[in-house]
Amino acid sequence: MNQANYNLLGLNIHESSISQEQRQQMKRQGELIELLEQLYRITPDMELPPMEFLLELFGEPCFPRGELVALTGRAKSGKTFALSIIMAMAVVSELLSFKREDVAPLKVLWYDTEQSKQSTLDILKNRIIPLFHLAEGADTEFPTNNFFIFNVRESDRKDRRALLNAAISHYQPDMVIIDGIRDLVDDINDGIVAQDIMEQLMRTAQQHQCCIVCVLHQNKASESRDPRGWLGTELLNKAFDVYATEKLMPQRIFKFEQLYTRKYDIEQSLYFEVGDDGLPIIVKDPPICEQQTDEMTEERPSLNDEYMIRHPDGKWEMNVPKLFGDALKGRDMLTGAALRYQVKLLGNIATNRLYNSCLSKAMASGLLEKWRDTKGVVCYRLARPAVPEHAAHSAVPEHAEGRQGGRQGEQQADLFSESEEAPPF
């Protein structure tokens, strides 16, 4: 037998040894690879539409299409009040510190699982509609057709998810508010169910290009502000942004703030109180108790003494110039999220509240410069000293040419110094 015949015989024996089940598995694997290549592969030359955000808060984009957003807070902490403001923003261009750039009004689907029908109607008639008239004028007709409001508290829990899916598919809203998502599951601590509903909501948001806002109470433990249970853990993992509400006593002031984000840091918190007409009024100055408790609530032993200044009267403060100088040492710039990480790491700072207080001091003193890059991401760098007029035309050292060239794009960006009021904390 020659070599060619021997090789052919060996090949036939090998092929005949492959079972039908193995052949089916190989075929299935080929089909899956083809599916991955056609539908799911991301390449550098791929062209996709830019991410679209429905609203802005303090000038930062928020509530993106195709994503989940979480809102958490304790009972009676102002969650539904904050939602009323957000829903009114669907048909107004500006309200409190929110803005909407899109000319066309948005469609909102509010899916209320918690309150009575009377309460839902009361919020519509006595909060959302008056907020619209406050922004657009008392004589302007409220666009009822932009709101699809359903109270499903009386429905069977097993039907609520199906009803929600049907509503989103039929009405095609821009924003969906699930108030609250806990009532779509039997057990808030069932990890499998929690993962299943999050995956379903992510698919729905992507398929219908809507922003789905999920409302869930926060943990009962005082040290945590994260949403409750396994459901809250999954929501925290999947949400693009996480916001929280808090009621400050005894002033009865409501606070709305961003806890986590994947992209755009909203460094300020929105403070509002309720006027005699039942409508929110923005509070421009932070409550005194909030200012005093910023550093008092921080565990002093956990802070890094290297970045603390202790005064003879027993008071202390963070050494802001050294803290931010070390965080940016050797770096041209950092994004807002990266700067926060570095500063908190160096100073052993546990709370965003203390970090934000330090950041506001750094900006107010002129230590930092803030701008947005070409993608809209907030960035920071150490402020450069002013150049004297007689040195304005001096030659640039040869070793600095590359760095100067790298800064050219930044100088053409929307660079500004922090002239706004320090954010309330």
DSSP string, 358-380: HHHHHHHTT-EEEEE-TT--EEE
Residue labelled with tokens 């039942």? 278
Half-sphere exposure of 412 (CA within 13 A, CB side): 6
CA distance 341 to 352: 10
Q: Which two tokens stand for residue 212?
A: 């789905």
pLDDT at 4: 58
Q: What is the pLDDT of residue 39?
A: 87
- State the chain's maximal CA–CA distance in angstroms: 103
| pLDDT value for 76 | 86
Q: pLDDT truncated to tens, each residue of the chain (425 aa)? A: 556 555 545 545 555 567 888 888 888 898 899 999 988 898 998 888 888 999 999 888 999 999 999 999 988 899 989 999 999 999 999 999 999 987 789 999 999 999 999 999 999 999 999 999 999 998 999 999 999 999 999 999 889 999 999 999 999 999 999 998 999 999 999 999 999 999 999 999 999 999 999 999 987 755 567 788 899 999 999 999 999 999 988 778 999 999 888 888 887 889 999 988 889 998 876 665 454 444 444 434 468 889 999 888 878 889 999 999 999 998 888 888 788 878 988 988 877 778 888 998 999 999 999 887 766 667 899 997 655 544 444 444 333 333 333 333 333 333 222 322 333 32
Task: Please name the residue ranges forming H helices in 174-301.
Answer: 191-208, 229-238, 288-296
pLDDT at 10: 53
Question: What's the rounded Cα separation, in Å, for the pair 193 and 174?
Answer: 26
Amino acid code (one letter) for 116: S
Per-residue buried b or exposed e for 72-101, using 16+ beta carbons within 10 Å of the residue's own CB: bbbeebbbbbbbbbbbbbbbbeebbbbebe
Residue 3 has a pLDDT of 60
Q: Are 231 and 197 in contact (CB under 8 A)?
A: yes
101 has which bridge partners? none
Tell me what percent of the chain is helix, strand and coil, each rounded to the nearest 5: 40, 20, 35
CB 65 within 8 A of CB 209: yes
Please state the pTM of the whole predicted model. Answer: 0.67
Domains by residue range for the chain, with CATH: 53-284 (3.40.50.300), 292-416 (1.10.10)
Q: Is 10 exposed, middle or buried (0-12, 13-18, 19+ CB in 10 A)?
A: exposed
Which runs of E-coded beta strand occur in 26-122?
53-57, 60-64, 68-73, 94-95, 98-99, 108-112
Q: How far apart are CA 150 and CA 156, in angstroms?
A: 14
Instruction: Specify the pairing of strand 368-372 against strand 378-382.
Output: antiparallel
